[in-house]
Amino acid sequence: MTKKFLIENTKTLFYALIIAILIRSIIIQPFYIPSSSMESNLLVGDRLFVTKYSYGYSKHSFPFSPAIFKDRIFYKPPKRGDVIVFKTPADNRTDYIKRLIGLPGDIVQFIDGDIYLNGNQILKTIKSKNDIIYCGNSKIKVTTFLEKLPGGKIYTASYRNDFSYKNSDKFIVPENHFFFLGDNRDCSKDSRYLTEVGYVHKDNLVGKAQILFFSSDPNIGSIFKVWKWNHIMRFNRFFKKII
């Protein structure tokens, strides 16, 4: 009886593990935000769901990136402005989350702190001044803008008041690659830094960030400190759609 019980439970656990891996690989996967590069849209301590089917599948859709696909299958091109999780080209292992700005063939350039896309300035209007957000463990003052991409996508982006990334060479996005920026513009390692991130190949896309389902403030304390939940939990961010 005991042996049969152990065998049946082992089978159940095995099947449950297989189902969990398939769901995580094919449908949806949770991710944790560990850095401030997307503030104030995504905060350290946010947990979000990423849909794996949004852009088709590559080896990076699966745990440990097994070499089961040569290319991407069922590929659907991402849209400009999508918030996307991808594997960094530097090691094909580390997960980053950024906003898609440049599509294959686009020319991206910073001029006097403004973003130009194919020679046209991305429109931005001031939303608020002297906001306080994080950059690593430090707090910085920023001006928050509403930016509008070609196609109509509108989102918020923050620029430091005391120093901001002003000018750059032209970034010419190669075929099958994409150019990403963090919404916390002066506290983000992204496609501007060619040796660390650079242009991201379509096979490195993991999925599209869709829903922020849980959030806690690690600067205040651990979620296991139940008696501090009224301070630790960001209840107003639960089940919030990612724009």
> In this predicted structure, which of 88-102, 148-162, 218-232 has the lowest mean pLDDT?
218-232
pLDDT tens digit sequence for 104-116: 999 999 999 999 9
Average pLDDT over residues 210-231: 91
The answer on pLDDT for 1 being more than 60 is no
What Cα–Cα distance (Å) separates residue 31 from each residue in 28, 52, 188, 199, 215? 10, 12, 18, 22, 11
* Enzyme catalytic residues: 37, 98
For residue 24, the 8-state DSSP code is: I
> In this predicted structure, which of 124-133, 172-181, 215-224 has the lowest mean pLDDT?
215-224
The answer on pLDDT for 19 being more than 90 is no
Please give the residue that has the higher pLDDT: either 228 or 233.
233
User: Residue 86: its pLDDT value, please?
Assistant: 97
Domain coordinates in residue numbering, the chain: 2-241
> In this predicted structure, which of 1-5, 170-174, 183-187 has the lowest mean pLDDT?
1-5
Q: Do residues 197 and 25 touch, judged by C-beta distance below 8 A? A: no
pLDDT band, residue 15 (cuts 50/70/90): low
Per-residue b or e along 21-45, where b marks 16 or more CB atoms closer than 10 Å to that residue's CB: eeebeeeebebebebbbbbbbbbbb
User: Residue 63: its pLDDT value, please?
Assistant: 84
Is 2-241 assigned to CATH 2.10.109.10? yes
The answer on pLDDT for 133 being more than 70 is yes
What Cα–Cα distance (Å) separates residue 204 from each residue in 15, 18, 124, 194, 197? 29, 24, 29, 16, 12
Closest by Cα among 122, 187, 110, 197 to 155? 122
Closest by Cα among 191, 182, 189 to 158? 182
Q: pTM value?
A: 0.91
Percent of the chain predicted with pLDDT > 90? 77
Q: Supply the mean pLDDT for the chain.
A: 92
